[in-house]
Amino acid sequence: MKSLIACAFGAAILAASGAASAQAPAYPTKPVNLVVPYAPGGITDGAARAIAQKLGEKWKQPVLVINRGGGGTVIGTKEVSAAGPDGHTLLLTSFGYVMNQVLHKALPYEPKSLAPLNMVGLAPNVLYLHPTVPVSNVQELVAYAKANPGALKFASSGNASSPHIAAELFGSITGANVVHVPYRGTGPAMQDVLGGQVSGIFDTMQSLPYVKAGKLKVIAVAHGERLTGAPEVPTFKEAGLPGMVTSSWWGFFASATTPEPLRRKIFDDIQDVLKQPELRARLVQLGMEPTPGTQADFQRFLDNEVERWTALTKTRSINLD
What pLDDT is recorded for position 13?
Answer: 44
Average pLDDT value for residue range 79-87 = 95
pTM: 0.84
Q: Which residues pair with 311 in a beta bridge?
A: none
pLDDT of 71 over the 80 cut:
yes
The alpha-carbon radius of gyration of the chain (Å, integer) is 23
Q: Which CATH superfamily is domain 126-239 in?
A: Periplasmic binding protein-like II (3.40.190.10)
From residue 139, give the alpha-carbon distance in Å to each of 128, 222, 239, 241: 15, 14, 7, 10
- What is the rounded average pLDDT of the residues 237-259? 96
pLDDT of residue 319: 77
CB 70 within 8 A of CB 78: no
> Are the folds of 30-122+248-315 and 126-239 the same?
yes
Percent of the chain past pLDDT 90, that is, above it, reads: 77
- Report pLDDT for 257: 97
Mean pLDDT of all residues in 261-274: 97
Res. 246: pLDDT tops 70: yes
Mean pLDDT, range 120-147, rounded to an integer? 96
**Cα 200 to chain center, whole Å?**
22
Mean pLDDT over each residue of the chain, to the nearest integer:
90
pLDDT score of 283: 93
For 268, which DSSP code? Answer: H
pLDDT computed for residue 23 by the predictor: 58
pLDDT, greater one: 227 or 252: 252
Is the pLDDT at 22 greater than 90? The verdict is no
pLDDT of residue 117: 98
Cα–Cα distance, 95 to 166 (Å, whole number)? 12
Q: Regarding predicted confidence, which is higher, 71 or 113?
A: 113
d(CA 131, CA 199): 9
pLDDT at 20 over 80: no
pLDDT score recorded for residue 6: 44
Any alpha helices (H) in 129-276, and if so which ranges? 138-147, 162-174, 186-195, 208-212, 260-274
Check whether 5 has a pLDDT greater than 90.
no
Q: Looking at residues 102-119, what average pLDDT do you find?
A: 94
Contact 183, 155 (CB under 8 A): yes
- The pLDDT value recorded for residue 308 is 95
The pLDDT value recorded for residue 264 is 97
Q: What is the CATH number assigned to the segment(s) 30-122+248-315?
A: 3.40.190.150
pLDDT > 50? residue 12: no
Domain spans of the chain, in order of start: 30-122+248-315, 126-239
